[in-house]
């Protein structure tokens, strides 16, 4: 089965970092993160991410890593502002 764009790209990135067995590592990382099935077929999540450009995936990762941080900050600020003097 031909590799997906996302698997090819990750393999190239890992090979560029001189990782041994870059293809195997890329495959196992993508399986672990539910992007592809063990046989190499894309999952629903994989189809969505495979259709994204690299910059779109980067923005998606950044949004997920900051998820909830703003609401915790707002809760903290509200608690300070509403605390009795």
Residue recorded with tokens 């894309």: 42
Structural domain harbouring 9: 5-82
**What would the pLDDT profile of 1-26 be if each residue is shown by its tens digit?**
568 999 999 999 999 999 999 999 99
CA torsion through residues 8, 9, 15, 21, sign: negative
pLDDT tens column, 20-67 = 999 999 999 999 999 999 999 999 999 999 999 988 888 888 877 766
pTM: 0.70
Number of domains in the chain: 1
């Amino acid at each position: 089965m031909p590799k997906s764009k996302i698997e090819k790209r990750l393999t190239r990135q890992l090979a560029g970092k001189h990782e041994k067995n870059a293809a195997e590592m890329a495959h196992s990382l993508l399986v672990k993160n539910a992007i592809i099935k063990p046989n190499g077929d894309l999952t629903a999540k994989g189809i969505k991410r495979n259709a994204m450009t690299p910059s779109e995936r980067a923005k998606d990762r950044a949004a997920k890593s900051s998820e909830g941080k703003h609401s915790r900050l707002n809760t903290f600020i509200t608690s300070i502002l509403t605390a009795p003097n």
